[in-house]
Amino acid sequence: MSSIPSNSENTPHILVLGIGGTIAGLAQDPTNPTEYQAGQVGIDTLLARIQEGIPGSVKLVSRQLANIDSRDLSEDLLTLIGNTVKESLQEPTVKGIVITHGTDTIEESGFFLSATCGKLAEKLSKRIVLTGAMLPSNAPQADGPQNLLDSLKWASTAPENCPGGVYAVFAGKVCLARDLAKRHTSNLNAPLMDSPSSSIGLINPSWVSRVRAIQAACGEDLPIPEGVWPWVEILTSHAGARSQAIDAIVGAGVQGLILAGTGLGGLNQAWLAPLKQAQAKGIALVRASRTGAGLTVVSKDDLICQLAGGLSAPRARIALQLALNASATSKSLTWQDFFARIAVLPEFR
């Protein structure tokens, strides 16, 4: 573990984990920040650049877990992030954890950490905070430094003001990480555009009540997979969908499918027969919606399968992988039981 100079792991601190992303990106020409490479600058350098803004009472220890463009986020890396967070949370000197991450797949990591470490963080009254940026670190208006400062502030906010748990901070706001999803290609607040959130500076009590209600509805943390994760793919239903697509992926050995249907979760008729055959072979099916918001409901077709509730397809994919993994070693609970524990929550909006 590499420390920011003068900070020791033996004194109370916030642990900052660098994963990469645009926040650590560099543009060849800073005046043209749309052309850049993500994951170029180390976490210590990013922290050194904001050192003046960090209150003297907040001590930091940093660790570079990866430095990638998050489109390449792998399941092995998710396992490493999850295990690091879980172990670190249990260290008495770690008061909170900030993770700098690419925004493209922050939705997956946010949901994964919520489902595997959320209850532990809540129990220990510690905050895990994900953040990132939409502009590379050398852009004149780079948003990363402020997002990182805000995240450190949120991670070190007194527990009386908001419960421990897994959060995300962007553009001056905070939301639950399980609500976070990049919903615009370039807006500075793209990762939390549609998420119920509060301002960092003035915590909104009705948002805190919502946080508590969601936390109360979530079941126990699921185990982090060891080794190879179950193979789950997302298939989007669309005009002209063909049965051969289902046959091909089932033939290749997929273990689960997230079916991102149209509207409420409707699936093209061409898929129904091969999906029923897949289900009969034991392939786990979850019906989501490609619309981007709202609940999936039991559809008019006769394919009976698990519903994703309000989860987007990428979140439902992580949920199904964790559920399949947990059920493989459970004597009494099915993957559907585990999926419901983390995915099927009442609507609070």
Q: Which residues contact ligand SIN by CB under 6 A? A: 20-22, 38, 69-70, 102-104, 132, 134
**What's the half-sphere exposure (Cβ side, CA atoms, 13 Å) at 96?**
25
User: Shortest distance, CB of residue 39 to ligand SIN, whole angstroms?
Assistant: 6
How far, in Å, CA of 276 to CA of 131, rounded? 41
Cβ(291)–Cβ(306) below 8 Å: no
How far, in Å, CA of 207 to CA of 141, rounded? 29
User: Shortest distance, CB of residue 66 to ligand SIN, whole angstroms?
Assistant: 10
Residues 6+ apart with CB under 8 A from 44: 2, 4, 62, 64
Closer to ligand SIN by CB, 181 or 267: give it: 181
User: Shortest distance, CB of residue 192 to ligand SIN, whole angstroms?
Assistant: 13
Closer to ligand SIN by CB, 147 or 215: give it: 147
Residue position matching structure tokens 């239903």: 237
Name the closest residue to ligand SIN (Cβ): 102
User: Shortest distance, CB of residue 331 to ligand SIN, whole angstroms?
Assistant: 40
Closer to ligand SIN by CB, 103 or 299: give it: 103
Closest among 226, 223, 196 to 208, alpha carbons compared: 196
The CA-based angle 20-90-17, given to 5 degrees, is 10
Closer to ligand SIN by CB, 21 or 230: give it: 21
User: Shortest distance, CB of residue 22 to ligand SIN, whole angstroms?
Assistant: 3
Cβ(153)–Cβ(200) below 8 Å: yes
Closer to ligand SIN by CB, 75 or 337: give it: 75
**Dihedral of the CA atoms 181, 184, 189, 191 (nearest 10)?**
10
User: Shortest distance, CB of residue 72 to ligand SIN, whole angstroms?
Assistant: 8
- Residue 349, strand partner residues: none
How far, in Å, CA of 281 to CA of 16, rounded? 44
Closer to ligand SIN by CB, 27 or 61: give it: 27
